[in-house]
Amino acid sequence: MIRLDDLALFVRTAAVGSFSNAAREADLLPAQVSAAIKRLEGELGARLFARSTRSLRLTAEGEQYLPYASEALATLAAGQSVLRREPEHLNGILQLAAPSDLGRNVLLPTLSAFRRAHPRLTLRLFLSDQVTDVFKDPVDVALRYGQPEDASFVALPLAAENRRVAVASPDYLRRHGRPTTPAELADHACLVFVLHGRVYDRWAFHPLAGQPQVVAVNSALMSDDADVVRRWAIAGEGIAYKSWLDVCDDVQAGRLVTLFGGALGEPVPLNLICPHRDQFSPAVRQLHTVLKQQCDLLLAALPKGNAA
pLDDT for the residue 4: 87
Residue scoring higher pLDDT (269 or 54):
269
8 Å CB contact between 105 and 249: yes
Domains 92-162+269-306 and 164-265 share a fold: yes
With a cut of 70, say whether residue 68 has pLDDT above it: yes
Q: What is the CA radius of gyration of the chain?
A: 26
Handedness of CA 128, 164, 251, 287 (dihedral sign): negative
Q: How confident is the model at residue 24 (pLDDT cuts 50, 70, 90)?
A: confident
Interval 31-54 mean pLDDT? 89
pLDDT greater than 80 at residue 304: no
Any idea which of 101-110, 118-127, 140-149, 213-222 has the lowest mean pLDDT? 140-149
Bridge partners (DSSP) of residue 94 are 123
Reply yes or no on whether the pLDDT at 302 is more than 50.
yes
Cα–Cα distance, 109 to 105 (Å, whole number): 8
The pairing of strands 239-243 and 154-159 is unpaired
- Spatial distance between the Cα atoms of 9 and 11, rounded to a whole number of angstroms: 5
pLDDT 10s digits, 156-191:
899 999 999 999 999 999 999 999 999 999 999 999
Instruction: Read off the DSSP letter of residue 151.
Output: T
Q: Which residues pair with 125 in a beta bridge?
A: 96
Query: Could you read off the pLDDT of 271-301 as tens digits, one per residue?
Result: 998 877 666 788 888 999 999 999 999 998 8
Could you tell me which CATH class the domain 92-162+269-306 is placed in?
A: alpha beta
Contacts of residue 108, defined as CB under 8 A and 6 or more positions apart, other chains included, come to: none
Angle CA 152–154–156, to nearest 5: 155
Cβ–Cβ under 8 Å, residues 179 and 220: no
4-83, CATH topology level = Arc Repressor Mutant, subunit A (1.10.10)
pTM over cut 0.75: no
Domain residue limits, the chain: 4-83, 92-162+269-306, 164-265
Nearest-angstrom CA–CA distance, 141 and 137: 10
What DSSP designation does 279 have? Answer: G
Buried b (16+ CB within 10 A) or exposed e, 202-221: ebbbeeeeeeeeebebebee
End-to-end, the C-alpha distance of the chain in Å comes to 65
Burial of residue 197 (CB within 10 Å: 0-12, 13-18, 19+) is exposed
Between 233 and 145, the more confident residue is 233
Confidence grade of residue 131 (pLDDT, cut at 50, 70, 90): low
Q: Which of 90, 145, 8, 140 is nearest to 283 (CA)?
A: 90
Report d(CA 109, CA 113) in Å as an integer.
Answer: 6
Q: What single-letter DSSP state applies at residue 64?
A: H
CATH H-level, domain 164-265: superfamily: Periplasmic binding protein-like II (3.40.190.10)
Dist. CA 162–CA 246, nearest whole Å:
10
Q: Looking at residue 107, what DSSP letter applies? A: I
